Amino acid sequence: MAESEEIAYMMQEAQCILGRLLSNGCSATLLMLHDDFGLPVDVILMLLQYAASAGKTSTRYIEKVGMDWAEEEIFSHQKAEEKLRRIAENAKAWHVVEQTLGIAHRSPTAKEETLAAIWVNDWGFTPILLREAYERCVDTKGQLNLSYMNGILTRWHEQGITTLQQAQEEKLRKAAARKQEASAKSTYNIEEFERSGAFDHFNGE
């Protein structure tokens, strides 16, 4: 700190953001993120602000997030802003899914967060369609199955289904197709049975 005004500034700001004096371990972690992993001071401070807003200010958490950011090459203020924006958007997407599916409030798993971001942010599905997919999933599986629900939503996305009416029409089309297929299969089986000669012994009656 005595040799670098930048490092001294980072430590002072870090104390303000975290609301406590820095332990030797935390100071060493911040120096490691800066010197060994290449995170600039402003990026480290943004990371600390994010951690503080999330209520996760342990040294271990700060170290893990910092190493993740370094791996993602978040070495500029702009990239840090983009990362924080994505984090906020993903959190909102999970909140939509959480509320729509009636999931008790908790932090999502990595898979849940990824799927929620795809469904809501990338594909733009509304709570109404999410609920429809959820109900179909439960009707078939008896419980929430994210992989099965994702299969439904993937199909809708590929087919350009964006409204509940379109989803219901698709369901009717599928039911009609299954009924037609079953009917055709039944007719085919009867014809095969007749060709086998199974009815021949009835001819003399």
The yes-or-no verdict on residue 160 having pLDDT over 70 is yes
DSSP readout, the chain? --S-HHHHHHHHHHHHHHTSPPPHHHHHHHHHHHHTS---HHHHHHHHHHHHHTT---HHHHHHHHHHHHHTT--SHHHHHHHHHHHHHHHHHHHHHHHHHTPPS-PPPHHHHHHHIIIIIIS---HHHHHHHHHHHHHHHSS--HHHHHHHHHHHHHHT--SHHHHHHHHHHHHHHHHHHHHHHHHHHHHHHHHTTTTGGGTT-
Higher-confidence residue of 145 and 4: namely: 145
Residue 174's pLDDT band (cuts 50, 70, 90): confident
User: pTM for the full model?
Assistant: 0.77
Dist CA 80 CA 107 (whole Å):
22
pLDDT at 205: 45
Dist CA 50 CA 45 (whole Å):
9
The yes-or-no verdict on residue 144 having pLDDT over 90 is yes
The yes-or-no verdict on residue 76 having pLDDT over 70 is yes
Contacts of 57 (CB under 8 A, 6+ apart): 18, 48, 51
Mean pLDDT for the stretch of residues 28-52: 97
Least confident of 26-30, 36-40, 126-130, 193-197: 193-197
Mean pLDDT for the stretch of residues 59-75: 97
Nearest to 173 by CA among 151, 156, 188, 148: 156
pLDDT at 190: 53
Q: pLDDT over 70 for what percent of the chain?
A: 88
